[in-house]
Amino acid sequence: MSKLRSAPTLDDVARKAGVSTATVSRCLNDPERVVTATRERVMSAVTTLGYTPNFAARVMAAKRSFTIGAIIPTMENAIFARGLQAFQEEIHRQGYTLLVSSSAYRPEDEEEQIRTLVARGADGLLLIGHDRAPRIFDFLEQRKMPTVVAWSFIPEKDTPSIGFNNRQAMKALAAKVIKLGHTRLAAISGIRQGNDRARLRIEGIKDAMEMNNLPPDSLPIIETSYEIENGAEAFANLMSQTERPTAVLCGNDVLAVGAVRQAQDMGIRVPDDVSVTGFDDIELARIINPPLTTVHVPHREMGRKAAQALIEMIETGSAGQSLELPTEIVSRQSLDRAN
Amino acid sequence: MSKLRSAPTLDDVARKAGVSTATVSRCLNDPERVVTATRERVMSAVTTLGYTPNFAARVMAAKRSFTIGAIIPTMENAIFARGLQAFQEEIHRQGYTLLVSSSAYRPEDEEEQIRTLVARGADGLLLIGHDRAPRIFDFLEQRKMPTVVAWSFIPEKDTPSIGFNNRQAMKALAAKVIKLGHTRLAAISGIRQGNDRARLRIEGIKDAMEMNNLPPDSLPIIETSYEIENGAEAFANLMSQTERPTAVLCGNDVLAVGAVRQAQDMGIRVPDDVSVTGFDDIELARIINPPLTTVHVPHREMGRKAAQALIEMIETGSAGQSLELPTEIVSRQSLDRAN
DNA sequence: ACCCTATTTGTAAGCGCTTACATTCTAATT
DNA sequence: AATTAGAATGTAAGCGCTTACAAATAGGGT
């Protein structure tokens, strides 16, 4: 029958080891500063008591939490999951812990979560994309909170970004599509409001059209949220137009997978009747038939680099530096020349 | 030029509003208890100062964090991502925040993370599966930490589990395979060490074999970790045996997808030459060709129910109750009768 | 008017830790 | 043996909040 006893404290350890709390604290945080004999006595008290330091108290006293917060749109998206996993591995290697929340793509929720993470004493923050209310950045700056933005690279912004040039990458892909003879393009995009990745990818398509003397305003765009089914629906929609496109450029692989499946259901052959492209290069992209031509993004590397940049900002107090990562077009079978 | 000023405290708000800190605290935590006029004065001070409560201080004083910790093997796995997303939505609805760490399937890391989460003052914990060192459960019990296990349902355990009967579910699937005339079965399993899901699924196959007078010990089992490539390799391995199996039962969809792809690469037809089954019913399962016959698991519901159970334990101090969720076999084209 | 109860607000004691500063101890130098 | 620099340890003041308890104020019944 175990006694109802609350967790042992530093004080308990100190008493048991016959030293002061300061010494115990030093044993735990800066072992060099205490002589071996004492340290051993303290450590054995720690283990016999099963002592674990109380984090809240430590944070309060030290004004340092060794915690980094990350807010992602959703965990149900392989691209964030992968990048975040790498991010977490890197910060863990450096002695930090990760706090994640997901905002479900809702800006108000994201704002609340940012405040929560700050209140929890996060030493730094990882955010996805630059598109959010300026007051949030003001708040972060006023609090001197080291912050890094990932998945998007816009060097002009104050907040350093570790990511890739969504616009450029999509432009390159669209240029390739056009070079294959396609003139009737269409786009299926994620919701662009508050999402610079989605927004800039569409801009990229338009850039490529403009460069090749296709009127950018003629591009049919269907915006929808991140689900296979929505991609399918959008595709059906696009195909019901009188003038069918010959190439459908999707803002991400998930929507593209939906498009390809819908094509199959409608008896439309990909790429013979219509080409489809994706973006992200997640697993689904190479599993589906035909496999998707898409843009490969180095998610793991991005996560790692973002972690390094953020930790440097935290530890040196520097302003941080943006870093652009390369993307590359992966050619598979869902894109072919126009006929 | 903004002054370098640290975050405003309760005290600053109190002074600005001309009340005591106790009143401010009450305004924030229990607004009913303070009269409207005062409350408004306080609230306006809060907004003009841009006050955000300091979490560590609050946790320390209140001995309550409104935080729930979850430790999952990896975020790079759709099944955990999905269940966790639902879990987080539910606890958020009830005013709690989620702290996630991933252990990368490493027991030592998991143990450390459990201690970290406890030290951080988590009000409750979500763990995946029952297989871990008893001292961890002892620690949790000694600390009176409300804990729920998900993804596995084993009612005999002390820690309540919200999940499904992995053994039973796999047994049903294997029985179905056998009924289709297959006698030469083989299994590709996840690492069973420390993973009751993987372990019990294999047991389920053996149960079904035993019931149908097939010698359970004859089942070839290849254990490998959770990656498409590993599934492919395992499949190749299995097919190089002199006596090829006619049905390969995989411990999860990811391994099954690897198996199917490898079959294609080897010119082996699925299901004509060999049947393949999965487990989990993730998106990949219906996207691949042929789509996988697999076991559908209600991940979202499990996440939600686990959240409800855990919160009830936290708030009522009750011991908590296990809950079994139903799974169902989803028949698609990767499984057919033996020829 | 007066007393009593109920409501609202204030006072102050921690929560468990870190760390600046003070004190004690060790041992090398004179 | 006396002196003293330097290492090891101790003392105690917070960190920003909650909450038990005390005090003040308001309202209702006589």
Give the per-residue pLDDT at A242: 87
Inter-CA distances, A258 with A187, A245, B86, B136, Å = 13, 16, 23, 44
| B2 pLDDT higher than 70 | no
Tell me which of B51, B93, B103, B287 to substitute to probe the interface with A (most A C-beta atoms closer than 10 Å).
B287
User: β-strands A294-296, A328-330: how paired?
Assistant: antiparallel
Per-residue 3-state assignment (H helix, E strand, C coil) for chain A: CCCCCCCCCHHHHHHHHCCCHHHHHHHHHCHHHCCHHHHHHHHHHHHHHCCCCCHHHHHHHHCCCCEEEEEECCCCCHHHHHHHHHHHHHHHHCCCEEEEEECCCCHHHHHHHHHHHHHCCCCEEEEECCCCCHHHHHHHHHCCCCEEEECCCCCCCCCCEEECCHHHHHHHHHHHHHHCCCCCEEEEECCCCCCHHHHHHHHHHHHHHHHCCCCHHHCCEEECCCCHHHHHHHHHHHHCCCCCCCEEEECCHHHHHHHHHHHHHHCCCCCCCCEEECCECCHHHHHCCCCCEEEECCHHHHHHHHHHHHHHHHHHCCCCCCEECCCEEECCCCCCCCC
H/E stretch holding B333 reads none
Average pLDDT over residues A260-267: 96
Give the per-residue pLDDT at B74: 86
**A104 with B121: Cβ contact below 8 A:** no
Give the per-residue pLDDT at B54: 93
Average pLDDT over residues B164-180: 98
Strand D reaches within 7 A of the A166 CB: no
Average pLDDT over residues B227-245: 95
Average pLDDT over residues A90-104: 88
**A/B interface, count of CB pairs below 8 Å:** 111
Give the per-residue pLDDT at B4: 39
Contact A83, A90 (CB under 8 A): no
Please, which residues have CB within 8 angstroms of residue B154's CB and are 6 or more apart in sequence?
Answer: B130, B161, B196, B322
Tokens encoding B224? 């490998």
Residue A291, burial from CB neighbour count under 10 angstroms (0-12, 13-18, 19+): middle
User: For A120-159, what is each residue's pLDDT tens digit?
Assistant: 889 999 999 999 999 999 999 989 999 999 999 999 999 9
Q: pLDDT-based confidence at A75, cuts 50/70/90? A: confident
Give the per-residue pLDDT at B336: 96
Query: Which of helix, strand or coil describes residue B249?
Result: strand
Contact A102, A110 (CB under 8 A): no
Helices (H), chain B: 10-17, 21-29, 36-49, 55-62, 78-93, 107-119, 134-142, 166-179, 196-211, 228-239, 253-266, 283-287, 299-316
Average pLDDT over residues B184-189: 98
- Taking contacts as CB-CB distances below 8 angstroms, the residues of chain B near A144 are 4
Q: What part of A 84-103 touches B (C-beta under 8 Å)?
A: 84-85, 88-89, 97-102
Give the per-residue pLDDT at B76: 78
**Using CA atoms, how far apart are residues A247 and A259, in angstroms rounded to an integer?**
11
Give the per-residue pLDDT at A1: 31
Average pLDDT over residues B322-332: 97
Give the per-residue pLDDT at A314: 92
Q: How close are the terminal C-alpha atoms of chain A, in Å?
A: 80
User: For B60-84, what is each residue's pLDDT tens digit?
Assistant: 999 989 999 999 998 878 889 889 9
CA of A157 to C1' of D1 (A): 71
User: For A9-36, what is each residue's pLDDT tens digit?
Assistant: 999 999 999 999 999 999 999 999 899 9
d(CA B208, nearest CA chain A) in Å: 31
Strand D reaches within 7 A of the B58 CB: yes
Q: pLDDT-based confidence at A104, cuts 50/70/90? A: confident
**B78 with A78: Cβ contact below 8 A:** yes
Phi, psi of A100 (to 5 degrees): -110, 140
CATH 3.40.50.2300 in chain A is located at 65-164+299-325, 166-297
Tell me which of A9, A230, A283 to substitute to probe the interface with B (most B C-beta atoms closer than 10 Å).
A283
CATH 1.10.260.40 in chain B is located at 10-53
Inter-CA distances, B115 with A245, B71, B140, B248, Å = 57, 11, 9, 40
Give the per-residue pLDDT at A3: 33
Please, which residues have CB within 8 angstroms of residue A112's CB and are 6 or more apart in sequence?
Answer: none
CATH 3.20.20.100 for the A166-297 domain, yes or no: no
Helix then strand count (H, E) for chain B reads 13, 12
Q: pLDDT-based confidence at A331, cuts 50/70/90? A: very high
Average pLDDT over residues B10-20: 93
Average pLDDT over residues A243-249: 96
Superfamily of domain A65-164+299-325: Response regulator (3.40.50.2300)
**Using CA atoms, how far apart are residues A295 and A327, in angstroms rounded to an integer?**
7
**A287 with B287: Cβ contact below 8 A:** yes
CA of A57 to C1' of D10 (A): 21
Q: What part of A 134-193 touches B (C-beta under 8 Å)?
A: 139, 141-144
From edge to edge, which strands make up the β-sheet containing A67-72? Answer: A97-102, A67-72, A124-128, A147-150, A161-163, A323-324
Tokens encoding A139? 């708040």
Average pLDDT over residues B234-257: 96
Give the per-residue pLDDT at A230: 97
Average pLDDT over residues B253-281: 97
Give the per-residue pLDDT at A183: 96
Query: Which of helix, strand or coil describes residue B77?
Result: coil
For chain B, give the mean pLDDT. Answer: 93
Q: What part of B 208-227 touches A (C-beta under 8 Å)?
A: none
CA torsion through residues B159, B160, B164, B168, sign = positive
Strand D reaches within 7 A of the A22 CB: yes
Contact A323, A305 (CB under 8 A): yes
Strand D reaches within 7 A of the B60 CB: yes
CATH number of B10-53: 1.10.260.40
Taking Cα atoms as reference points, which of B208, B339, B170, B201 lies closest to residue B270?
B339
Q: What percent of chain A has pLDDT over 90?
A: 82
**Using CA atoms, how far apart are residues A145 and B110, in angstroms rounded to an integer?**
29
Give the per-residue pLDDT at A164: 96
User: For B303-314, what is each residue's pLDDT tens digit?
Assistant: 999 999 999 999
B100 strand-pairing partners = B70
d(CA B27, nearest CA chain A) in Å: 18
User: For A186-210, what is each residue's pLDDT tens digit?
Assistant: 999 999 999 999 999 999 999 999 9
Tokens encoding A301? 């590397």
**B143 with A7: Cβ contact below 8 A:** yes
User: For A312-330, what is each residue's pLDDT tens digit?
Assistant: 999 888 999 999 999 999 9
For residue B280, what is the DSSP state? B
Q: pLDDT-based confidence at A97, cuts 50/70/90? A: confident
From edge to edge, which strands make up the β-sheet containing B97-102? Answer: B97-102, B67-72, B124-128, B147-150, B161-163, B323-324
- The label of the residue with tokens 């297959």 reads B182
Q: How close are the terminal C-alpha atoms of chain B, in Å?
A: 80
Dihedral of the CA atoms B104, B109, B115, B116 (nearest 10)?
Answer: -70
- Taking contacts as CB-CB distances below 8 angstroms, the residues of chain A near B60 are 54, 56-57, 60
**Using CA atoms, how far apart are residues A118 and B123, in angstroms rounded to an integer?**
20
| A5 pLDDT higher than 90 | no
Query: Which of helix, strand or coil describes residue B68?
Result: strand
**B60 with A56: Cβ contact below 8 A:** yes
